Amino acid sequence: MDVQTMKITKMDYAATGAFSQTITDYLCCGEQLRPFYNHFPTLDAFEAQIKEKRFTETQRQTLYTALQEQYISISEINPQVQQNLELLLQPNTFTITTGHQLNIFTGPLYFVYKIVTAINTCRQLHEKYPDYNFVPVYWMATEDHDFAEINHFNLFGKKYTWETGQTGAVGRFSTQDMGTLLAELPEAYPVFEEAYRTSKNLADATRAITHALFGKYGLVSIDGDHAELKKALTPIVEQELTEQLSNKLVEQTSQKLEQLGYKPQVYSREINLFYLTDTLRERIVQEGGKYNVLNTDLSFTLEEIRKEAQEHPERFSPNVILRPLYEELILPNLAYIGGGAEVAYWFQLKELFAKYDVAFPMLMLRNSALYISRSNASRMHKLNLQPQDLFQDFQELKKQLSGQIHEKEINLEAQRQAVAAAFAEVEKLAESIDPTLTKAVGAEAQKANNSLQMLEKKISKARDSKHEQTFKQLENLKDKLFPGGTLQERKDNLLTYKTNNPDFIPALVEAFDPLEFKFTIIEEE
């Protein structure tokens, strides 16, 4: 869709009521959070970040070789992606990274928003720093084992679920049993169908999908579940097993955040590692001088587990605490783009990075948006509402709409006073002729007053009934744009919008300004 056919409105994240105090404080550069990050992400600040990031020729070669192996699964690599893969060998090339789980069919919209934020950040950096190259990277969370979080998606209000008995890291799951799910869909979606039917596993399928959707923008997708890449983590694995260093450092930082009123987003373990095979990903725990793998019979002595780490680095999987460190060890990365909760948990990691002398990346909140289709925009305007109004609570919005429909409440007080005055005159007349009639006049006056009150209620009810349809339209609009009472991006799927607007992704690319840190409202005109 041409950007000229869209109306773009921006608003402060705080005004949406949908973001935590931690994030709104960060975006305001609040002093309390200053010790927990490196550089706040502005275009000018990237110069210092580039100087701080150290990445050797050997590291680049390892990264390049691993990516070439992974992209064998793509039959025809987009020239923009191939160019970026080659550029990663150059000392003046850096990455802007976002990460996400391997949600089937891309899951909620914010997955797409993360990637577009990375793409647009690279575009702005190219303009600002023409002597450097910037590559957008999607870190595929292939080692995650929480299948229940990724096995479903919502399309046109209906939930679709992939049922499988496979266990372990989801990236290694075969997609061959997705046929039942694919057959349930309301229509064929060739990009997804081909990826799931022809790929050997979910990691390859997800790479194929992101390549099809974002290849023309040069997006590189990386799978950290790779033996050569994991070697970079081996020294940290050994120290983690013997000293539990990350746990100590993260707990110290988390306590400092809590003292400032910020709730930690993630909790550290004594050992922040999993043991990984084709069918399991289970925590490593130290018990009675041994290293045991939970829910298995696997057990190692210190000497045995050190040997295992040296000979099979791919069997050690970092959890949420160590994964960010792993990312920064194997990528020439400058900034990490995440949602509110992600950015908040990176604040817990600053001291961990300092201990290992790894440059702490800039932390960027991904772009967030409300997309209003032409039909919903028409409904909104008929209700005489502005996009920002829609973030209000439904009852508050109903009051606002009521105020617009009726300038003042129906009130017959003036008429009651007039009737009361008339009966007062009658009462005077009756008293002058026959005082015994005053009681009868008073009774009739009360009846008249009661009748007016009853009529007031009837008229009000008739008015409300007349506008009930308007309130129903408001309720339907809110449900469409805020499904389940939450932001659209947290529920709806890409296909809900791309099916009706094939240029949905280019529209996002046109609309998003990643370093403005404003909520974006995109309205079709």
Asked if the model's pLDDT at residue 406 lies above 70, the reply is no
Comparing 187-196, 316-325, 388-397, the range with the smallest average pLDDT is: 388-397
User: How far is Cα 180 from Cα 162, in angstroms, rounded to an integer?
Assistant: 8
Instruction: Kindly give, in sequence order, each residue whose CB lies less than 8 Å from that of residue 210, ignoring residues fewer than 6 positions away.
Output: 115, 138, 219, 221
Greatest CA separation found in the chain? 118
Instruction: Identify the pLDDT of residue 1.
Output: 44
The 10s digit of each residue's pLDDT in 132-171 is 999 999 999 999 999 999 999 999 989 999 999 999 999 9
Instruction: Kindly give, in sequence order, each residue whose CB lies less than 8 Å from that of residue 214, ignoring residues fewer than 6 positions away.
Output: 115, 119, 136, 138, 505
How many degrees, rounded to 5, is the angle at CA 31 between CA 29 and CA 35?
100
Instruction: Identify the pLDDT of residue 423.
Output: 87
Residue 188 has which token pair?
A: 């064929």
The alpha carbon of residue 482 and the mean position of all alpha carbons in its chain are separated, in whole angstroms, by 14
Identify the CA nearest to 262 among candidates 340, 378, 183: 340
For the chain, what are the domain ranges? 3-233+318-368+487-524, 375-483
Identify the CA nearest to 156 among candidates 515, 494, 518: 494
Instruction: Kindly give, in sequence order, each residue whose CB lies less than 8 Å from that of residue 459, ignoring residues fewer than 6 positions away.
Output: 410
Measured CA distances, 472 to 178, 383, 468 (Å):
39, 11, 6
How many degrees, rounded to 5, is the angle at CA 430 between CA 426 and CA 435?
140
Instruction: Identify the pLDDT of residue 203.
Output: 98
| Percent of all residues in the chain with a pLDDT value above 90, rounded to a whole number | 82
Identify the CA nearest to 219 among candidates 124, 122, 129: 122
| Residue 94 pLDDT level (bands cut at 50, 70, 90) | very high
Helix (H/G/I), strand (E/B), else coil: 92: coil
User: How far is Cα 85 from Cα 90, in angstroms, rounded to an integer?
Assistant: 10
- 445 versus 122: the higher-pLDDT residue is 122
The 10s digit of each residue's pLDDT in 168-214 is 999 999 999 999 999 999 999 999 999 999 999 999 999 999 999 99
Instruction: Identify the pLDDT of residue 67.
Output: 98
| Residue 420 pLDDT level (bands cut at 50, 70, 90) | confident
User: How far is Cα 377 from Cα 238, in angstroms, rounded to an integer?
Assistant: 57
231, HSE (Cβ side, Cα atoms, 13 Å) = 9
Comparing 312-321, 374-383, 463-472, 491-500, the range with the smallest average pLDDT is: 463-472
Per the CB < 8 A criterion, the answer to whether 108 and 177 are in contact is no
| Percent of all residues in the chain with a pLDDT value above 70, rounded to a whole number | 98
Helix (H/G/I), strand (E/B), else coil: 169: coil
- 2 versus 55: the higher-pLDDT residue is 55
User: How far is Cα 470 from Cα 80, in angstroms, rounded to an integer?
Assistant: 50
Mean pLDDT of the chain: 93
Instruction: Identify the pLDDT of residue 23.
Output: 96
Per the CB < 8 A criterion, the answer to whether 112 and 33 are in contact is no
Asked if the model's pLDDT at residue 232 lies above 90, the reply is yes
Asked if the model's pLDDT at residue 403 lies above 90, the reply is no
As a whole number, mean pLDDT of residues 371-376 equals: 94
Residue with tokens 């064998």: 72
Asked if the model's pLDDT at residue 452 lies above 70, the reply is yes
Instruction: Identify the pLDDT of residue 148.
Output: 95
As a whole number, mean pLDDT of residues 331-340 equals: 97
As a whole number, mean pLDDT of residues 82-102 equals: 98
User: How far is Cα 205 from Cα 135, in angstroms, rounded to an integer?
Assistant: 21
Residue 518 has which token pair?
A: 């404003």
Instruction: Kindly give, in sequence order, each residue whose CB lies less than 8 Å from that of residue 404, ignoring residues fewer than 6 positions away.
Output: 384
Please name the amino acid found at residue 21: Q
Identify the CA nearest to 365 among candidates 149, 186, 150, 516: 516
Asked if the model's pLDDT at residue 509 lies above 90, the reply is yes
Per-residue DSSP letter, 146: -
- 438 versus 84: the higher-pLDDT residue is 84
Asked if the model's pLDDT at residue 512 lies above 70, the reply is yes
Comparing 259-263, 269-273, 419-423, 465-469, the range with the smallest average pLDDT is: 465-469
Residue with tokens 């390549």: 211
